Amino acid sequence: MAMFRLQGSKVLAVEMTGDAVKAKNGSMVAYDGQMSFKKLTGGGEGLRGMVTRRLTGEQMTVMEVKGHGTCWFADRASEINLVGLQGDKLYVESSNLLVTDAGLRTGTTFTGLRGASQGNGLFTTTVEGHGQAAIMSDGPAVVLRVSPQYPLIVDPGAYIAHQGDVRQSFQSGVTFRTLFGEGGGEAFQIRFEGDGLVYVQPSERNTIAGDL
């Protein structure tokens, strides 16, 4: 299995000894040793993944990197966060996914209105299995715990990913910025209940929720 190692907070070094990883197309910034690169149409998810992404207009071009040596990845100076999976599933916005172990299964899942609020279609990316994934954030990500006693409310523009036994729903109401008379007037929030983790970033992406 490839070894993931952060160099600083914005560059990921992946050491491979014949292993392979899947990475966001164009995110490789340097490598040493012997490496091969192959574009995976549809994110390597098969026909269903290709169809759902075409229907939703969500773009996720992935490449497979395989070989012996070290490959470095980065994307627009984004902060990189490592997530270890032990047979569980990670839900992540496709634009925030940088690199995964090749053995991890990627796919798409229906997320309803929450996906629509972000302008990324009605599907989000899933990563499942045993291995590591690297996700990106605009600024240092914060990992927040959701417990049965304490549901978590998140602004749609700040959401990156979540994992664990977590249920999500989309609820109307003012967001934090509009509560104080700032921002674009987004009128929806994401509510997480259950037991798990939610990853948020300190900078909000543009969403269309304010127009709904």
- pLDDT in the model for residue 179: 57
Asked if 70 and 31 touch (Cβ cutoff 8 Å), the reply is yes
Asked if 118 and 206 touch (Cβ cutoff 8 Å), the reply is no
Helix (H) or strand (E) holding 168: strand 159-172
3-17, 22-36, 196-210: range with lowest mean pLDDT: 196-210
Residue 13, domain member (yes or no): no
Does residue 187 or residue 78 have the better pLDDT? Answer: 78
Residues 6+ apart with CB under 8 A from 46: none
Confidence of residue 79 (pLDDT cuts 50, 70, 90): very high
CA dist 73 and 88 (Å) reads 24
What is the residue range of 175's domain?
Answer: 138-211
Residue 168, domain member (yes or no): yes
Is 60 exceeded by the pLDDT of residue 139? yes
Residue with tokens 């036994």: 165
Residue 173, domain member (yes or no): yes
Asked if 155 and 117 touch (Cβ cutoff 8 Å), the reply is no
Residue 207, domain member (yes or no): yes
Confidence of residue 117 (pLDDT cuts 50, 70, 90): very low
Per-residue pLDDT tens digits for 182-210: 555 556 788 999 999 999 999 876 554 43
- pLDDT in the model for residue 190: 87
Residue 155, domain member (yes or no): yes
- pLDDT in the model for residue 105: 92
Average pLDDT over residues 169-185: 60
CA dist 73 and 184 (Å) reads 33
Residue 144, domain member (yes or no): yes
Asked if 96 and 138 touch (Cβ cutoff 8 Å), the reply is no
- pLDDT in the model for residue 175: 53
Average pLDDT over residues 107-112: 74
Is 80 exceeded by the pLDDT of residue 56? no
Residue 193, domain member (yes or no): yes
Residue 30, domain member (yes or no): no
Average pLDDT over residues 106-121: 58
Confidence of residue 176 (pLDDT cuts 50, 70, 90): low
Average pLDDT over residues 111-118: 49
Overall number of domains in the chain = 1
Residue with tokens 């996906």: 115
CA dist 172 and 99 (Å) reads 34
- Tell me the three state secondary structure of residue 44: helix
Confidence of residue 59 (pLDDT cuts 50, 70, 90): low
